[in-house]
Amino acid sequence: MTPTLLTILDYACLIAALAAIGGYVLAFLRNRPYVRPLNSLGLLLIGAALLAAPTVVGWAATSPGAKPGPLLYFVGLLVASVVFQMIAALRKRKQRAAG
């Protein structure tokens, strides 16, 4: 795996992780009163995983016989997970009628 590709993966992980953590905080603050703080917890956990992903990818890329395909797949799925969870967490919901 080329150093350029590793750098791109590092930046993709960092940007997606910060977006996930920011999205969790935004969804948490937006849903007052804090009735369900665990609804968007997946964003926070995926963000934490993405912060650790560059280390794991770096170790895997330097191992003998490493192939870039599974690493790209791994990072791509995590980034896609952030995108879809942010859409779900930040979408406008219709207010339910009380009672």
Query: Would you give per-residue pLDDT tens digits along the chain (99 residues)?
Result: 788 888 888 899 999 999 999 988 888 887 766 656 677 788 888 999 899 888 888 888 788 887 878 888 888 898 999 999 888 888 776 665 554
Is the pTM of the predicted complex or chain greater than 0.85? no
In the block, tokens 């979408």 appear at 91
Per-residue confidence (pLDDT) for residue 94, from 0 to 100: 65
Alpha helices in the chain (DSSP H): 3-30, 41-62, 68-90
- Cβ neighbourhood burial of 40 (10 Å; 0-12, 13-18, 19+): buried
Paired tokens of 72: 């790209």
